[in-house]
Structure 1
Amino acid sequence: MECKRIVPVLRMLDVEKTREFYLDFLGAELLGEHRHEPSMPLYLFLSLGGCELHLSEHFGDGIPGANVRIETGGVKAYQQSLLAKAYRYARPGLEKPPWGGLEMTVQDPNGNRLTFFERES
C-alpha cells in the first residue's frame, strides 16, 4: 500500500462564517460544493496552499474541535499577511514549541484548529 495524500473533513456549523474565515481570511480557494438538494447539508471542497480541506454540515462528518497540523514554509510571512487583514475574530501569534520549528494556530468559527508549522532547517 502507498498513501498518496490525506484530506481532512472538518465539521461546519455556520456556512457564512466558515466561508468568511476560510476564503476571505485564510485565503483558501473554493474548489467546489455539493448539496443533494437545496434543503440538505452543504459540503465544501477547498484548497489552501496546495492542501485540500473539506468542510461538511453533515451530522457525523467530524466533530467540532478537531486539530489539523499543516506543514508549510513561510509561517511568519503568512502570519503577517493574516494580521494585516485585521480580521475581527482572530489575531494569530507565532510559537516556538519545545521540539523546535515555528507554529501558528488559528481556530475556525466551528471550533476546529489549524496549526501551520515549519520545521527547523
Structure 2
Amino acid sequence: MSLGTVTPILRLFDETMTREFYVDFLGFQVDWEHRFEGNFPLYMQVSRDGCLLQLSGHFGDCCPGAAIRITTTDVDAYQAELLAKEYRHARPGVTEAPWGGREMSIQDPAGNRLTFYNRDPEISA
C-alpha cells in the first residue's frame, strides 16, 4: 500500500483574473477545463513542472482563503522571474523562515495563499 500525490482544489471567483494570475503571472499552463453546461462554473487544472492545482468556481468544492505550500528548487530565481513580469497585483518578496529555509508567499485573486519554498536537502521529500 502506498499513497500518491496530493492535488489541492482552490476556489476561484473571477475566471479572467484567475487565468491572468496562474497562467500569465505564475507561468502555469492550463491542462484541461470542464463545465457541466455552457453557463455553469469553471473547473480547471493548471500545472507547472510537477505541481498540479485544480481551480473550481463551484460552491461547496472548497473555501476561499486556503493556504498551500509548494516546493521549488530555487525560490529566489522564481521571484526574479515573477518580478520581471511587473504584474500589477503582486510584487512578492522572499523571506527567511524562522524555522529555516527561504520562502515567498503570494495571494491569488480568491484570497488563497500560495507559499513557494526551497526544499531542505537535509529532509527527504
TM superposition score category, shorter chain reference: over 0.9
Supply the AA of the counterpart residue of 1:109: P
Aligned to 2:61: 61
Q: Is the 8 A contact 1:30 1:46 kept in 2?
A: yes
SS at match of 1:114: strand
- Mapping for residues 1-121 of structure 1, pairs under 5 Å: 1-121=1-121
Calculate percent identity across the aligned residue pairs: 55
Supply the AA of the counterpart residue of 1:100: G
Supply the AA of the counterpart residue of 1:8: P
Distance of 1:105 and 1:49 partners within structure 2: 19
SS at match of 1:104: strand
Distance of 1:23 and 1:47 partners within structure 2: 9
Supply the AA of the counterpart residue of 2:64: P
Q: How many residues align?
A: 121
TM-score (norm 2): 0.93
Distance of 2:67 and 2:39 partners within structure 1: 29
TM-score (norm 1): 0.96
How far does the alpha carbon of each residue in 1:36-66 deviate from its partner, in whole angstroms, 9 at most, with x for none?
1001111011102311000000001111100
Deviation at 1:119, TM superposition (A): 3.4
Supply the AA of the counterpart residue of 1:104: M
| RMSD, aligned CA | 0.9
Distance of 1:100 and 1:78 partners within structure 2: 18
Q: Is the 8 A contact 1:21 1:109 kept in 2?
A: yes
Supply the AA of the counterpart residue of 1:43: Y
SS at match of 2:77: helix
How far does the alpha carbon of each residue in 1:55-92 deviate from its partner, in whole angstroms, 9 at most, with x for none?
00000111110001011111000000100000000000
Distance of 1:42 and 1:78 partners within structure 2: 28
SS at match of 2:23: helix
Distance of 2:36 and 2:119 partners within structure 1: 41
